[in-house]
Amino acid sequence: MPNIDLKIFAWIMIVAAASIAFSLALACATPFAAMAAIAGVFLAARPAIDLIAFAWVANQAVGFLVLGYPTTWDSFAWGAVIGVAALSALAVAVTMRRAVAAVLPAVVVAFLAGFAAYELVLFAAPALLPSGEEAFSAAIVLQIFWQNALALIGLTIFHWIAMSVGLLPVDAPTAGQA
pTM score of the predicted model: 0.85
Q: Give the tens place of pLDDT for each residue, 115-162.
A: 999 999 998 887 777 776 666 788 888 999 999 999 999 999 988 888
- C-alpha dihedral sign at 138, 141, 143, 149: negative
The arithmetic mean of pLDDT across residues 49-69, rounded, is 90
Q: What per-residue confidence (pLDDT) applies to 145? A: 95
Ranges of each domain in the chain: 6-164
Q: Which phi and psi (to 5°) does residue 74 adopt? A: -70, -30
Confidence of residue 173 (pLDDT cuts 50, 70, 90): low
Q: Give the tens place of pLDDT for each residue, 79-126.
A: 999 999 999 999 999 999 888 878 889 999 999 999 999 999 998 887
- C-alpha dihedral sign at 49, 173, 31, 10: positive
